[in-house]
Structure formats: structure tokens, C-alpha cells
A and B are shown apart, each in its own frame.
Chain A
């Protein structure tokens, strides 16, 4: 957050000094900055454009580049989306994914708020080590864990249930959120809590009435990050869920929609587009929080 606020000031200073530089002519600036930037944006966005345009193209146009310009649609159609919504279990998958993402987000926010508060504010001997241990958990990649976790899930009788995902996703969400929230709690003056303690408030009252309201931006950042990560998660959802109805969107598109040798590119791309929209929308509402959580965590 801080550098988002500080950045206009910085860049004004930078541009003021730059305007006085003789070598910085306009043509040079276009060549050195705008042209490469345009290339980057073009390449980074092209797959999305291609995804979007494919999902509205009728099949005849999709597979005939000779008569139709592939970069444009001459007769857009909603057939692929209609097929997706009414002939497949896509709405169910969306619902399952939403349920899993929301559930695991709340679970990890709950766990990591308490943990961050204990580590940062209830300071006890060894609290830095607990913080470090939780942080190290973030470095354990899911690819190493999914095979033994599958046996654990089977032991718990949770195989093929969305509950398994809600319980497992916090393993990579809690470390990040805790880490982020420790940073946020640090920025809240301790004197506020001391005042409340002197006034006779209990620790839990302090957490609920003082610390949490002040940490709302941090909670939002952590929440958005958790939501997008659990929406995007793939390997656990692939390994732990078997029945079609319980699959999450990324897994379902890949395993249920890719059938046979002739790929339904229109439907596949429509599914990808619809599956990306919720996170993209959610993200666009909270871009600044998201960027700050990403960069804040790096700087910590």
C-alpha cells in the first residue's frame, strides 16, 4: 500500500529531472519505452484475446482460415456457451469451485489471523521460530505432497469430497496469509492495545475491537490472494476428486470436456473464459490490495 501511495510523488520527481535531460528526446522515448511495452502487452494479452475470440466463433469459421480472417469473427455465436451451460455440468463445477474457494479462504483467514496475532502480539519465547516454521511451510511444493496426502485423505474418508480440498488448501494459504498479516499487525501501534489493556479489556476483546478493524486492508489482501489461489489450484483437485459433479472448474474442463480425438475448441475456450472471469473480476475490484500483498510479501 505504501508504495502505491508514494509512487506518484516519486515519479513526478523522476519525470521532472528527466525533462531537463537533453538526450531524452521524444523519439528515443518511444523506441525505448513505448514500443517494448506495447510488445509486452500484446504478447501477454494475446492468449486471452484468442481465448475470447475462439469462444464466440462458429465452428465453420473456427476451422477455416482460408476464407475467414482468424483474427476476427464475421458471425459471432453464443452456441459454445449455450452448449457449456445447458449440455454439460459446467454450472455445478462453478458452484463446487466457488464453495471450495470460499470455504478454504475463510478457514485459512481464521487460522492465520489467530496465528499471526499470537506470533506478533502475544510475544512468547520462541515466537520468531514458530513464525519461521510457518513460513518454511510455504516452500514445500504441492507436487511433493500430493501422493502421501491422497492416502491421508482416503484414511479420513474424505476422498472425492470437496471438504477434502477445503481442508487441504490451507496448507499453502495459511503460511502466506500468516506472513502477510504479521506484517500488518506490526504496522498497528502497540500503544493502542496497551491503552485497552489498561482500561480492562481482555485480549480477545482487543483482537476483535481494535486490532482486527485496523487490519482490514491486510485481511482483504490475504482474502483475495487465498481466493484466487484456491480457485486456480489444480493438482490436489485432480488427485483427490473423482466423480464428475464434485470436480472444480480447472480439472473438469481438462478431464470432462477434452474427449476423443476431435477437440471442441469452441467449448473448451468458452469454458476457460468463463472459468477465468470470476477471478479476473474479483481481482480487478481489488487490484491495489492484490499488488500490495504480492509486493509487500516480497519486501518483508
Chain B
């Protein structure tokens, strides 16, 4: 019996044969597993990235293949005051918003790191501005910044009597710029706070106990324990935050569309206006490509500027 069944079983195992063996052949399996992800990323990310750089050197418009024109697009941009204005506002917007987000976000993280009732509910609520679609909350801000029916103006004029006239939030350049930055900070605080809170919770309480025994003040404990221990996480979160603030599009597009008189254009909204709405794909691509050097610089600066401390301490804490 057994003599006959065993060959039969091995036969049955081998018979589905080549598919099963192929699926167990490691190199094939690796290629098969990586194909969907790598394929999607190559076709819709790497290829467009290269194509974008190529388009920046052509005079392509919608519906017409462009020809190579060298650096002409960039020379044009360098002479374009609107582009310079967008560069200025992108840097200003990123700088002020990042400082605001991190100062307030760090503070909120420190507050949330305390022990109090309903803590997890509060943490969930705090994340809401980050969850809700940016454009939709931007619309709420647009309504809050309304020239006539702004609730902030109402508070200042009719309730607190600090001012006599309504604030014109979005009608003049500088107030519009700061209004947008405020909305961006509002949206960015939760992400910074929750990420940093996770970092705070990894710091061992025994460090604080030791410092307290040595008589360190609250500020000293923050300055010499919390802050250095948070550096690696701060570096990562700040790199992300800078990249996505510098290339922000939705908030500005939803609230001002670059106005008044083009004063609040970021590079991304300018690229959209010229490239998609205006049809000048080549020029739009050149504006988008001109963001890359700033991004690379900001990334290197925030990442190495902050992460450098880590190996100076000689600690491997990630």
C-alpha cells in the first residue's frame, strides 16, 4: 500500500508543477511583488519628474508639441517680477508658518504630555484640522475673513470695541499674506503636535527624575533633556513640514487664488495659473522646476542642521 501511495503523492505534489515552482522561485517572486509598486511609481512619478524637467526647456503649450528652447523659460522668469514675488512669498510663507507651527505645536505637545482626564478624546479632537480636507477648511477661513461679515471683525468692532472699522483681511497685500499664513499654521499645528507628542513619550521619565534630584528647574529640564532628545524627530518632522509648506497650493488657491494683485502667489499657484489655466505648459513646468533647488536646500538645511546634533551626542536613539 504505502509503496504505491507515496509515489502517487509526490507525483500529485509535483504535478501543479511549474506555476507553483515558479511562484516559489525567489527572484521571480521578488520581481512579481515589486512590479505593481515600482511600476506605478515609475510611470506616474519618475517619468513625469523627468518629463517636467524636459518640458521646462521647451515652449510646449496645451495641444502643441514644443521644441527645445534651452534656458529661455528660465531667463524669462528671472526677468519676471511676478516670479520674484512668488519666490519671496513662498520663502516668507514657509519661514513664518514653520516657526509658528513648531512653536505652537511643540507647546501643544508639551501640554498634551501631561496627565489629565479625557486625554485621548482631546488628542483625537486636536487632530481634526489635519484630517478634514484642506480646501474645505480653507473655505471656512475664507468666510471668517469675509470683508463685511467677518466674525473676527465683529468681535473686535462690535463686542470688544477695539477697532472702529472692519478689517480688510484679503483685500490688501500684507493682511492677505498674514491671513494665509495664519490659516496654514492653524492647519499645521495638529500634525506637529501629535508627531512631537509621540517623541515626548519615548523620553524616559527617569531622566527627569534624575534631573529633579539634581535640582534642575523646569526650564533647565526642557533645555537640557527634552529639547536634545527631541532633535532627531524635530529634524524629520520639520523637513516634511518645510517641503509641504513651500509647495503648498490648496490653501492659497482656495482663499485668494494669488490675489490681491498677485501678491499672495506661491510658486505652485503661479505654476498652475501659467501652466494649466494659461496653457503655457513649458513655462509652468519651468516654474515648478525652479522650486527644486529651494526644496533641496531647505531639506538639507533642516535635516542636517538638526540631525547633526545626534551624532555629536554619539547616541543611537531611533
Contact surface of A with B, Cβ cutoff 8 Å:
3, 6-7, 10-15, 17-18, 33-34, 36-37, 40-41, 43-45, 47-48, 50-51, 54, 62-63, 65, 70, 107, 110-112, 114-115, 117-119, 122, 124, 130, 134, 137, 139-152, 167-168, 170-171, 174-175, 178, 202-204, 228, 231-232, 234-235, 238-239, 249-251, 253-254, 265, 268-269, 271-272, 275-276, 279-280, 283-284, 287-288, 290-291, 294-296, 298-300
> Which B residues lie within 8 Å of A298 (CB)?
195, 198-199, 233, 236-237
**Proximity bits, B107-126, A CB within 8 Å = 1, else 0:** 11001101110011011111
Give the size range of B's interface with the partner: 35 or more
Given A147-B281, A284-B124, check contact A272 B139 (CB 8 Å): yes
- CB contacts (< 8 Å) of B49 on chain A: these are 140, 144-145, 148
- Binary A-proximity of B35-60 (CB < 8 A = 1, otherwise 0): 01110110111111101100100001
Q: Give A167 to B32 CA distance when docked, in angstroms.
A: 19
**Across the interface, do A48 and B131 meet the contact criterion of CB distance under 8 Å?**
no
Interface membership of B91, Cβ < 8 A: no
Q: B299 in the interface, Cβ–Cβ < 8 Å?
A: yes
- Tally inter-chain residue pairs, CB-CB below 8 A: 293
Query: In whole angstroms, what is the CA distance A45 to B275 when docked?
Result: 36
Bound Cα distance from A3 to B154, whole angstroms: 44
Instruction: Verify A44–B136 contact, CB threshold 8 A.
Output: no
Q: State the CA gap A300–B240 with chains docked (Å).
A: 14
Tell whether B289 is near chain A: CB-to-CB under 8 Å: yes
Shortest CB distance B202–A (Å) = 7
CA of A233 to CA of B52, assembled, Å: 21
Does B292 make an interface contact (CB < 8 A)?
yes
Most buried by A among B149, B189, B233: B149
Contact A111 B36 (CB under 8 A): yes
Q: Which of B20, B37, B45, B149 contacts A114 (CB 8 A)?
A: B37
B33 is an interface residue with CB less than 8 A from chain A: yes
**Least Cβ distance of A175 to chain B in Å?**
8
* Residues of B close to A107: CB separation below 8 A: 40
Residue on B nearest A268 in the bound complex, by CB? B139
Knowing A33-B116, A152-B47, A283-B131 are in contact, say whether A47-B199 is a contact too (CB < 8 A).
Answer: no
Whether B33 lies near A122 (C-beta < 8 A) is yes
Whether A148 and B26, one on each chain, are in contact in the complex, defined by CB atoms closer than 8 angstroms, is no
Which partner residue on chain B sits nearest A144 by CB separation? B288
Chain B contacts to A: CB under 8 angstroms: 20, 23-24, 26-27, 29-30, 32-34, 36-38, 40-41, 43-49, 51-52, 55, 60, 104, 107-108, 111-112, 114-116, 119-120, 122-129, 131-137, 139-141, 143-144, 146, 149, 151, 154, 158, 186, 189-191, 194-195, 197-199, 201-202, 205, 209, 212, 233, 236-237, 243-244, 247-250, 253-254, 267-268, 271-272, 275-276, 281, 284-285, 288-289, 291-292, 295, 299, 318
What residues of B have a CB within 8 angstroms of the CB of A17 in the complex?
Answer: 205, 209, 212
State the CA gap A290–B116 with chains docked (Å): 22
- Which A-chain residue is minimally distant from B136 (CB atoms)? A272
